Structure 1
Amino acid sequence: MFDPTRPFVLLDDVAAGRARLFSGLIEAVVAETADAVLPALTRLVAPRPWAGFVGFEAGYALEAVLPERSAPAGEPLLWFGHFAHDVVVDAKALLGGGPASLGDAVPGIDHPAYAARLARVAALIAAGDIYQANLTFNALVAVGGHPLHLYARLRAGSRAPYGALLFTGSLWVLSFSPELFFRLDGRQLTARPMKGTARRGGDAAEDAALAAALQADPKNRAENLMIVDLLRNDLSRVGDNVAVPALFDIETYPTVLQMTSTITATARAGMTAADVLARLFPCGSVTGAPKIRAMQVIAEVEDAPRGVYTGSIGAISASGDAVFNVAIRTLVMAPGWPAARLGLGSGIVADSAAPDEWAECLAKARFLHRRGTPDLIETMRVEAGTICDLGRHLARMTASAAFLGIAFNPDAARALLVRVCAGATGRARLLAAPSGALAVQLGPLPQTPAGAVRVAVVPLPVDTDDWRLRHKTGDRDFYDAARRTSGEFEAVFVRPDGYVTEGSFTNVFMRRGGVLVTPPVGEGLLPGILRARLLAAGEAVEGRLTAADLDGGFFIGNALRGLLPAQRV
């Protein structure tokens, strides 16, 4: 029986839907001081299974030339448990549900101070002292609710293959890491460092363009290659036949694109998982190159210890196999703490610019507010059994499904719609769940007021690059709330730069010189079906509109209601 008041470790592959729970603590191996780290690691031997973490500062105890560094207050340098139970579980069912809240990440450093630190690192790179350094800082995140429920909330939107939830009895660690440090299967060693990050696009086409740009970017390729060379060297300390079967791959996650490479080796006979951990730790992707000198620079430049962040969480099985993550996207908290601690960082190379690196660090905190994948929705007009614009609706849902990683079958959706809507007139609502399950709801057509409808013009309530703006999903409360608050038939949104985007359920059009003008999709809006039809027919063109343009009358419309005259109120 799982008891969350006692120490446990949950290793959670959210992407694959697999999780292992280690519970029933028999013995804990803990290193509070630098001189205790190596003796602690030597105790992590099969056939006893172990699960736990190594904090970043423990790495300084593994190299004689490095200065000793302490972990943050209240954290050990290393904590592993020998558990009575190691079982496969349904993590979602195990965690349950409950109230949980997270605030924004508040950096413990401002941009000018960060830029000054980056300048110190850049000067060392320019002098040839190092090639790269991973520069990080801590942020605080206000949290509410039990850590189990916080983890459950964040895991739904993470798709992290190397997630972990760990409780030592006094310290909680919530990790949503996409990065593998190393895996040991028999004598086969695999490392997959991540180095190179870009934001997600608003749709599949923009995603593909951003991924191609990231893969071709000289800075990111150079940064990634440095770490590959470092890991090749590290793996040669514990194995033979070192190879790089994959270089500069791009992996897609809910909020970012990541560049990864894969390095493999054959562990030498007699080399245990604990030996590998001791010789490889910390991962080169979170230090820099050359590794030892980069760690010295980190100790000089960063003003606070990292703790579990950029350390590693993982397990050694009874057979001696092991898997360890790189503990990025990781929250640490304890009872009585006013907030959770979150580490943020990026790799600094010769041409790094402080504004870009600062923005990359902040972008890595976006996972805090990424919700689980919502249902996709298409709302269609049905006339005597004919589903209007069915091809366009299915094409849009197919594109959104590809972007969100939903297994959508358009042929199955078409067949279901045709069957449900046979002979009907009204509104058909197609829903595609994240699992790929389909449902159709059939109802009457909506009533529309006679004459020009009243429309409020209000500020856009989310960032203009929010992916939700370009996809029709069940997560549109931010729009619906603004319309309800206005009290009008519709609310049209305006970006901070003054340009109009769309309505909460309609696109916007204005007549200029005999043709309808509608805002470009790139402004941050849904590619509506009526809009697509009018553009294809040459009855509308894309062009920017300001709020002032709407003063003399305009149109709103969607595939269900058609084009409606509108007046601003």
Structure 2
Amino acid sequence: MSVAVLYSSEHSAWVRYERPRAIFVARRHEEVPALLAHLEAEVEKGGLHAVGFLAYEAGRAFDPAMPRACCGDFPLAWFGLFESPATISLGPSKPGHALDWVSELDAGAHGRALERIRGYLARGETYQVNFTHRLRARFDMDPWDFFGRFVSRQPSPHAAFLDTADFALCSASPEMFFERDGEEIWSRPMKGTAPRGRWREEDEALARGLAVSEKERAENVMIVDMVRNDLGRICLPGSVHVPELFRAERYPTLWQLTSLVRGRTRESTAQVMAALFPAASITGAPKVRTMSIIEELEISPRRIYTGCIGVISPGRKARFNVAIRTVLVEKSLGMAEYGVGGGIVWDSDPGAEFRETRIKARVLADPEPEFSLLETMRWARGEGIFLLDEHLLRLEESAAYFGFRFDQKALREALLREISAACGMEGVLRLTMDVAGVWSIEHRPLPGPSPCRVSLALSAVDAADPFLFHKTTRRAVYDQARAQVAGVDDVLLWNGRGEVTESTIANLVVELDGELLTPSLACGLLPGTMRARLLQEGRIREDVVLVDDLPRCTRLWLINSVRGWRECVLAGPVPGSA
């Protein structure tokens, strides 16, 4: 039984189509236009929904000048006619194992292909080539379970799932191909990528850098012009416009640069598809010649990758994604395939372009275990919550970073109610908040003063881990560091560059050469609320503190908002000490 699941912007929910009345498949180019026209007629006549896809290689169906590419046994087009869908909830994703993905291209082969592209660019045959390749893995799990984990890793309003007897499609595409509602039609081409930062300021700086990058803007505007031109073929004169240019969109593993192109059309959806397909963002410019170059250089067919998946609905409505971030599961072979690529222009750096394909493949990693944001706050009768504004600001920034819902006003009121109703004169509030913005508050006694002996951790932390910069319930790094060292009260962490970062529960301040220093945030540590206050007041200064500097430090303190300043003694061997 064929099943399709799409995210519906109209319902703001997942919808499930099942038990199709009929299935239509095209395996030859000349069959595709008639199939689309027939589907559209059936949709309007019978109030049905046509859900399915076009493979990238279907492009020649609409323009005989495009290369006669073949995608083997995979259909050029597949659509089912369904009754109205049911709204569903995906629910929590089921655990699974990581797949062993193998690339068909290594960095060397990728670089050699880019050199050939530079030749075409030098001769003026193309201005940009979207060069791609495939990753493959053995696949031995339920495609639906895989899809659940996949979209939890990269939530997207353009995600889609299609399960047939022969294959399954699991798409977490962030890119809209086009959407129409009656005469209104719009497209949001995506061109330009940057990695996510580790904390708010770094993350926002990378987003700003993407939005102002001359290279990324030039590539984006080139694609926008192609989309404007394609829409101009089927839109009413003067109706095509660009209301939004160069918007940086945030996803869990990367930033993407998008623009919005709108117009008005009276043409059928089949005619719209003929004018627009394949999407300009995944071919290059000019489209037809560049597709011939792609056909020459890419070593395997794209099939669903960079095609489109979507639905044609009654009332002249349609919505399709660009099938990137999409896994094709071939059931009979027990194999999965995933495409990655990027736009290549004259000044593209081969190493950077290959690294970008690795960034785009990060979504294939299994999702991190679910976690909550965490804050621990000291309160006292008559004094309120110490550094409440700083705690709420940090929580707000982490919520924005991870995409958690957050109502600061409501939470502030709840915290103040908690301490007004609490017994005793002082204590600690432990707050956890999940992705839906639902919080839980626990009361704990305030820990008393105690001696503090610390030792260096036995292994380095990874300064690239974004979870080091946010206070969450995901604490395995800290728990493991504590478990490896016995006989001390806490452990000092350090990174692969030999830079001290923090302890497992507090920030670090050292006295070195007469100055009070705290390790720099970029070393890989939590931006503590008390640390922030002391930096703001100028009482401490941020700098790199090396493990080798510790023997020269005259005093050490652990600081946090619950215990304040705790002077500590470094136990065990210290590098550089005699």
The residue number in structure 2 matching 1:19 is 14
The residue number in structure 2 matching 1:264 is 262
The residue number in structure 1 matching 2:559 is 557
Answer yes or no: is the 8 Å Cα contact 1:373–1:404 preserved in 2: no
Answer yes or no: is the 8 Å Cα contact 1:457–1:494 preserved in 2: no
The residue number in structure 1 matching 2:376 is 379
- % same residue: 36
Say which SS state the counterpart of residue 128 (structure 1) adopts.
Answer: coil
Deviates more, 1:155-164 or 1:532-541: 532-541
Q: Following the alignment from structure 1 to structure 2, what is the Cα–Cα distance between the partners of residues 144 and 153? A: 15
Answer yes or no: is the 8 Å Cα contact 1:11–1:163 preserved in 2: yes
The residue number in structure 2 matching 1:50 is 50
Evaluate the alpha carbon distance shift between residue 338 and residue 484 of structure 1 in structure 2; reply closer, same or farther with a 3 A threshold: farther
The residue number in structure 2 matching 1:418 is 416
Q: Following the alignment from structure 1 to structure 2, what is the Cα–Cα distance between the partners of residues 551 and 21? A: 64
Q: Structure 1 residue 211 and structure 2 residue 211: aligned?
A: no
The residue number in structure 1 matching 2:327 is 331
The residue number in structure 2 matching 1:234 is 230
CA RMSD, Structure 1 to Structure 2 (Å)? 2.5
Q: Structure 1 residue 314 and structure 2 residue 310: aligned?
A: yes
Evaluate the alpha carbon distance shift between residue 568 and residue 276 of structure 1 in structure 2; reply closer, same or farther with a 3 A threshold: farther
Say which SS state the counterpart of residue 39 (structure 2) adopts.
Answer: coil
Answer yes or no: is the 8 Å Cα contact 1:33–1:70 preserved in 2: no
Answer yes or no: is the 8 Å Cα contact 1:137–1:345 preserved in 2: yes
The residue number in structure 1 matching 2:575 is none
Q: Following the alignment from structure 1 to structure 2, what is the Cα–Cα distance between the partners of residues 91 and 511? A: 55
Answer yes or no: is the 8 Å Cα contact 1:12–1:91 preserved in 2: no
Deviates more, 1:431-440 or 1:223-232: 431-440
The residue number in structure 1 matching 2:466 is 467
Q: Give the 5 Å matches for 1:67-146.
A: 67-71=67-71, 75-83=74-82, 85-93=83-91, 97-103=93-99, 105-141=101-137, 145-146=141-142
Q: Give the 5 Å matches for 1:103-502.
A: 103=99, 105-141=101-137, 145-240=141-236, 241-268=239-266, 271-335=267-331, 337=333, 339-369=335-365, 370-371=367-368, 374-384=371-381, 386-422=384-420, 423-424=423-424, 425-446=426-447, 450-460=451-461, 462=462, 464-487=463-486, 489-502=489-502
The residue number in structure 1 matching 2:576 is none
Q: Following the alignment from structure 2 to structure 1, what is the Cα–Cα distance between the partners of residues 134 and 93? A: 28
TM-aligned CA deviation for residue 97 of structure 1: 4.6
Answer yes or no: is the 8 Å Cα contact 1:195–1:258 preserved in 2: yes
TM-aligned CA deviation for residue 131 of structure 1: 0.6
CA deviation profile, 1:321-379 (whole Å, cap 9, x unmatched): 10000011111113354552111111111211111111111111222335487422111
Q: Following the alignment from structure 1 to structure 2, what is the Cα–Cα distance between the partners of residues 332 and 263? A: 29
Q: Counterpart amino acid of 1:479?
A: Y
Q: Following the alignment from structure 1 to structure 2, what is the Cα–Cα distance between the partners of residues 260 and 439? A: 37
TM-aligned CA deviation for residue 401 of structure 1: 2.2
Evaluate the alpha carbon distance shift between residue 492 and residue 14 of structure 1 in structure 2; reply closer, same or farther with a 3 A threshold: farther
Evaluate the alpha carbon distance shift between residue 502 and residue 336 of structure 1 in structure 2; reply closer, same or farther with a 3 A threshold: farther
Q: Counterpart amino acid of 1:272?
A: S
Answer yes or no: is the 8 Å Cα contact 1:100–1:146 preserved in 2: no
CA deviation profile, 1:363-415 (whole Å, cap 9, x unmatched): 11222335487422111123346322222211211222232333323232222
TM-aligned CA deviation for residue 458 of structure 1: 1.8
TM-aligned CA deviation for residue 489 of structure 1: 4.1
Q: Counterpart amino acid of 2:374?
A: I
CA deviation profile, 1:444-473 (whole Å, cap 9, x unmatched): 23477534234424211x4x3332222112
Answer yes or no: is the 8 Å Cα contact 1:16–1:161 preserved in 2: no
Evaluate the alpha carbon distance shift between residue 411 and residue 158 of structure 1 in structure 2; reply closer, same or farther with a 3 A threshold: same
Evaluate the alpha carbon distance shift between residue 449 and residue 10 of structure 1 in structure 2; reply closer, same or farther with a 3 A threshold: same
The residue number in structure 2 matching 1:62 is 62
Q: Following the alignment from structure 1 to structure 2, what is the Cα–Cα distance between the partners of residues 564 and 399? A: 30
The residue number in structure 2 matching 1:29 is 24
CA deviation profile, 1:205-257 (whole Å, cap 9, x unmatched): 33332222212111111101111111111112222222222221222222222
Q: Counterpart amino acid of 1:63?
A: D
Answer yes or no: is the 8 Å Cα contact 1:250–1:257 preserved in 2: yes
Answer yes or no: is the 8 Å Cα contact 2:154–2:363 preserved in 1: yes
Q: Counterpart amino acid of 2:182?
A: G
Evaluate the alpha carbon distance shift between residue 506 and residue 57 of structure 1 in structure 2; reply closer, same or farther with a 3 A threshold: same
Q: Counterpart amino acid of 2:199?
A: D
Evaluate the alpha carbon distance shift between residue 504 and residue 107 of structure 1 in structure 2; reply closer, same or farther with a 3 A threshold: farther
Q: Counterpart amino acid of 1:223?
A: E
TM-aligned CA deviation for residue 537 of structure 1: 3.9
Evaluate the alpha carbon distance shift between residue 15 and residue 118 of structure 1 in structure 2; reply closer, same or farther with a 3 A threshold: farther
Q: Counterpart amino acid of 2:495?
A: R
Evaluate the alpha carbon distance shift between residue 65 and residue 14 of structure 1 in structure 2; reply closer, same or farther with a 3 A threshold: closer
The residue number in structure 2 matching 1:3 is none
TM-score by length of 1: 0.91
Evaluate the alpha carbon distance shift between residue 500 and residue 442 of structure 1 in structure 2; reply closer, same or farther with a 3 A threshold: same
Evaluate the alpha carbon distance shift between residue 171 and residue 392 of structure 1 in structure 2; reply closer, same or farther with a 3 A threshold: same
Deviates more, 1:47-56 or 1:418-427: 418-427
How many residues are matched?
556
Say which SS state the counterpart of residue 37 (structure 1) adopts.
Answer: helix
Say which SS state the counterpart of residue 536 (structure 1) adopts.
Answer: helix
Q: Counterpart amino acid of 1:493?
A: L
Q: Following the alignment from structure 1 to structure 2, what is the Cα–Cα distance between the partners of residues 551 and 456? A: 16
Answer yes or no: is the 8 Å Cα contact 2:178–2:320 preserved in 1: yes
Answer yes or no: is the 8 Å Cα contact 1:15–1:159 preserved in 2: no
Answer yes or no: is the 8 Å Cα contact 1:421–1:442 preserved in 2: no
Answer yes or no: is the 8 Å Cα contact 2:140–2:334 preserved in 1: no
TM-aligned CA deviation for residue 23 of structure 1: 0.8
Q: Following the alignment from structure 2 to structure 1, what is the Cα–Cα distance between the partners of residues 375 and 79? A: 49
Q: Following the alignment from structure 1 to structure 2, what is the Cα–Cα distance between the partners of residues 506 and 337? A: 52
